[in-house]
Structure 1
Amino acid sequence: MSDIDTASVGGLVEVSDLTVDFGDLRAVDGLTFRLARGAALALVGESGSGKSTVASALLGLHRGTGARVSGSIDVAGVDVQRASDDELRRLRGAKAAMVFQDPLSSLDPYYAIGDQIAEVYRVHTRASRRAARARAVDVLDRVGIPDAARRSRSRPHEFSGGMRQRALIAMALACEPDLLIADEPTTALDVTVQAQILDLLHTLREETGMGLLLVTHDVGVAAESVDEVLVMRHGRAVEHGPVAEVLGAPARSYTRELLGAVPRVDAPREVGGAKPGLNADAVSEGGIVSEGKVVSEGKVVSERKAVSEGEAVPGSAGTGGAGILGAGPGGAGPGGAGPGRADPGRADPEVVLAATGLRREFGRGKRVFTAVDDVSLTVRRGETLGIVGESGSGKTTLGRMLVGLLEPTAGEVRHEGHARVGVDPAVQMVFQDPVSSLNPRRTVGESIADPLRARGEREEGRVRGRVRELLERVGLEGAHYDRYPHEFSGGQRQRVGIARALAADPRVIVCDEPVSALDVTTQAQVVALLGELQRELGLALVFVAHDLAVVRQVSDRVAVMRRGRIVEEGPADEVYDNPQDPYTKQLLAAVPALDPRIAAQRRAARRELAAV
């Protein structure tokens, strides 16, 4: 029976006893599930749970890779296991299409977006070049790309992250597939763009009747987007059912622990601390943050040590600020007299970092673009300042100026009262993407050793000894010195980045989106590690992120940026519970809700607002 003859038989996707082995590693173990036509299912789990492996297996992408795939896979009437290479090519794009996590690496940088979409359409339909070009413009317009005819001639680097993701969705829609597989489609997007992409997927499902298989580690994204949830762990199904039941009343302890690890934007910071104050070593052993405790295999490993109000944290030099764990020095909010609005240039021994009137422009003449515009702020010893805002708001540019990687066009940065000249070892940075910030040709030990050698340390034994200490301090092994970045997981690579920042003995660490691409448990591990280091070393942290829930839980104060300016600043709970600026309210309204009913109400409200 041909694939066309069987297309109407059974569900859209039928998977039975799927098993995938890579050598001695079993990535998927006996998985069975079904997706009806027009329905939406989310595969949810930690990194390494097998989610993406399942998605790739549905399109036969493991064929020829050496992976051993067994079990039954039927997609849109095609028996994927028995299909010929030609049948698989007809399946991919025409009946089932995939949107990958990183649109920049999925798009050819040398060709215009419209040409790439047109090529996909021509391959599957044999349409003329003119018809294919018109189809590309049509689908770009359909996914909300403004001025689609003109922008179709743009190359990927000329699109923002959200627009590139829309372009990938447009490419997937070009042949009107029955099934759309979206593999972490919103991982690196800010909350407002994420909400736009999720609303787009929901609208496309309603208009086309296509089925959606969503692969995500973000439980909130699942609540916003699907009818059913399948929770995976170690390649197996842990729990499967309607999204409201699984997220509202999970039956399995692992699902409850996974939900407990999700930072909540509506949860106030606890007196004496927040989730990052957990024991990092316990979390790094595979535990999950749940209800203020570290839980591993359903057992409590360690509990948060509360810090009474006003109690100083060890290493904080006697300040009233308890950093991540304590009540923090806080401030009086916008326009008040707290540290956030104090004169950044005043002599205050507790101010370790101060910026006054920072401005940064790019380009020249009529093409000049102001990325940061007249920003002033202070960071006190042992304090965490969170900086939030959409992509393009100037957060990363500001962070790079604070470190000295970018020189301001105007204004100045002072470290402990002294004007900064060049890069100061006392202020270090943990970058968003540890893959691109670590040299793949050098061992992680050599990368961590760079700041030591830059300070004049030449004795090899001392360098290696200090690097081993740093590796162990961040939860890795000293023997990892001679390993390369590709041998580590994402969370481990981020630990390497933290170790490299610590090598310079800094007073301040600027963290630029340090957990944006990590699942909730790995995210909890990294943030817990930062909290522990802050308490022990008295570090000040500047935490730059678009994840508002994480920022609330880690920050003493929060500054909200929009179009290069700080539009609101104050104590974290005050900004989140009683936002004053309309933009802050807009950001908070875009955060995914774990309750599907609330998610539906917010989606309807966004539609009404867009229609005005």
Structure 2
Amino acid sequence: MTTPLVQVEDLTVDFGDVRAVDGLSFTLEAGAALGVVGESGSGKSASASALLGLHRGTGARVTGTVRVAGTDVGAADEAELRALRGAKAAMVFQDPLSSLDPYYTVGDQIAEVYRVHNRVSRRAARARAVEVLDRVGIPDAVRRSRSRPHEFSGGMRQRALIAMALACEPRLIVADEPTTALDVTVQAQILDLLHDLRRETGTALLLVTHDVGVAAESVDEVLVMQHGRAVERGPVAEVLGAPRQPYTRELLASVPRVDARRPAGPVPGPRAAAPDTGPLLEALGLRREFGRGSSRVTAVDDVSLTVHAGETLGIVGESGSGKTTLGRMLVRLDDPTGGRLRYGGREIGSLPEKALRPFRRELQMVFQDPVASLNPRRSVGESVADPLRAAGETDETRIRDRVSGLLERVGLDAGRYERYPHEFSGGQRQRIGIARVLAADPKLIVCDEPVSALDVTTQAQVIALLGELQRELGIGLVFIAHDLAVVRQVSDRVAVMRQGRIVEQGAVDEVYGSPQDAYTKQLLAAVPTLDPARAAARRAARSELAVA
């Protein structure tokens, strides 16, 4: 009987008074792939970090036994840990920008990792760097190896991290949310790459993800975690097809489906839309350019769309398609270079800032990263109160009452008014951002990737909150996202963007059910599916297309 490549027995990880991992046990055989799924705070990443001893020196208390490729991680000294990391087991992190040094070329960084574990010349190490960059699909690998991280796209940076992990031919790759920030087409490419590498090299994969669809595309078995414990484990088709545990069923029920049609008729619940007197917002030939002369870039090119009170317009497309720039122009955070923008029938696209002030409260934006949009030195209550103070409210009692009501409205305890952003989870911080927007009594809200960094259950809660608020207040919503399944779930109509232009738009069920543009078809074909057999068939089809 062979010894498993990874053996975890009764693993517990404590951060002060918080128990992140609670008595976790599992094994992973050589060459196999295990997906660890669960919500934020379930202990997924803490467990993965323990495999490489990354809690060492952080103040975390780790007990239990972890053995990886014959190394007892808990008992290993620093030299043994260095020998393990990179050579026997390698980690691919979620954010490649924070994992790559901005001052050194990508090739030099991979070469340095290779030289740490192999006594070779600098030339040989650089040749190995080029070899693995080429293997992970970086075009013109010799030239691009001399590029720095900021010169790579997000998908290319993630490929570079995978190349770095492969440099020393490890027996195990631990991938912690490796596709979270990527577009669906790039995500599909990365997942296909990991699958191909496993098949060719026999490397085992431990994939940490909150996206159940990503797990279905990539692994043989799934381990579901909740509150630091293992809830369910089994073959991916069994766990996702016939889950035994209530939590697993709840997790799967929260996953948005790209093939699920919207219910017929209006969204359930009373919708407070005003009588239709024309579009709430209308863009005509909207254009935005950056730079000058030969360096000029057109981010948005001749875009026309409408948004009515009480409806949601979804905008989808890959990174760089112009979605965010368009959204910022719709609320006049960015000035259009050309075209016209009307709000309530009034021309606002060319108004100077002073003339825009009456419209500022009614046109609001919810940003992707609530951490960046909340001041860490101010309580959340004071941040939510900002629009009230900007509107001239000075009575502190009325301000506090209004803010407390808004916090409760978005599902938060009004008693946490004096707490700071770092004391809230990601989903709670996004709710705070929504409360602050609501304080301005908006008529139109542009949501820019508001749930992209959230796990599926928290994502579902935030989406439900936005829908509830829209029904009650008759707000027009523009929902920008690269997740096509989420957009189908929330939108009445959808516009597909590519290279600054809208290539297709219409009723959401029509666009998703019968896409006309080749790019729309490509996007829909790249969305992860919860059916492993279907995922394998689509991966094979993509492989054949790539060869052709």
Length-normalised TM-score, structure 1: 0.86
2:362 — aligned with what?
426
Deviations 1:300-323 (A, max 9, x none): xxxxxx45xxxxx3421245xxxx
Helix, strand or coil at the partner of 2:47: helix
% identical equivalent positions: 76
Deviation at 1:210? 0.4
1:589 — aligned with what?
525
Aligned pairs for 1:2-401 within 5 A: 10-272=3-265, 306=268, 313-318=270-275, 349-401=277-329
Deviation at 1:272? 4.8
Helix, strand or coil at the partner of 1:482: coil
Larger CA deviation: 598-607 vs 419-428: 419-428
Task: Give 2:369's aligned amino acid.
Answer: D
Task: Give 1:402's aligned amino acid.
Answer: L
Number of aligned positions between the proteins: 540
1:574 — aligned with what?
510
1:601 — aligned with what?
537
Q: C-alpha distance in 2, partners of 1:126/1:449?
A: 60
User: Do 1:135 and 1:174's aligned partners in 2 also have CA atoms closer than 8 Å?
Assistant: yes
Deviations 1:39-68 (A, max 9, x none): 100001111111101001111111222222
User: Do 1:350 and 1:381's aligned partners in 2 also have CA atoms closer than 8 Å?
Assistant: no
User: Do 1:441 and 1:484's aligned partners in 2 also have CA atoms closer than 8 Å?
Assistant: yes
Task: Give 2:345's aligned amino acid.
Answer: G
| Residue segments in structure 2 that go unaligned for 5+ positions in a row | none
1:510 — aligned with what?
446
Task: Give 1:430's aligned amino acid.
Answer: V
- Which of 383, 394, 401 matches 1:447? 383
Task: Give 1:243's aligned amino acid.
Answer: V
Larger CA deviation: 449-458 vs 56-65: 449-458
User: Do 2:412 and 2:428's aligned partners in 1 also have CA atoms closer than 8 Å?
Assistant: yes
Change (3 A) 1:108 1:442: farther
1:324 — aligned with what?
none
Q: C-alpha distance in 1, partners of 2:383/2:104?
A: 35
Q: C-alpha distance in 1, partners of 2:378/2:17?
A: 28
User: Do 1:9 and 1:77's aligned partners in 2 also have CA atoms closer than 8 Å?
Assistant: no
Deviations 1:415-445 (A, max 9, x none): 1111223462211000011111222222222
Q: C-alpha distance in 2, partners of 1:272/1:62?
A: 52
Q: C-alpha distance in 2, partners of 1:536/1:193?
A: 37
Change (3 A) 1:210 1:369: same
Task: Give 1:78's aligned amino acid.
Answer: T
Deviation at 1:388? 0.5
Q: C-alpha distance in 2, partners of 1:179/1:558?
A: 41
Task: Give 1:62's aligned amino acid.
Answer: H
Helix, strand or coil at the partner of 2:324: helix
User: Do 2:271 and 2:470's aligned partners in 1 also have CA atoms closer than 8 Å?
Assistant: no
Larger CA deviation: 374-383 vs 118-127: 118-127
Q: C-alpha distance in 2, partners of 1:13/1:406?
A: 51
Is residue 2:486 matched to residue 1:550? yes
Deviation at 1:590? 0.4
Deviations 1:473-504 (A, max 9, x none): 11112232222211110000101111111121
User: Do 2:484 and 2:527's aligned partners in 1 also have CA atoms closer than 8 Å?
Assistant: yes
Deviation at 1:151? 1.8
Task: Give 2:183's aligned amino acid.
Answer: D
| Residue segments in structure 1 that go unaligned for 5+ positions in a row | 1-7, 275-305, 308-312, 320-348
Deviation at 1:273? 6.0
Is residue 2:397 matched to residue 1:491? no
Q: C-alpha distance in 2, partners of 1:150/1:456?
A: 57
Aligned Cα RMSD in Å?
1.5
Deviations 1:229-250 (A, max 9, x none): 0111111111111111111111
Larger CA deviation: 590-599 vs 448-457: 448-457
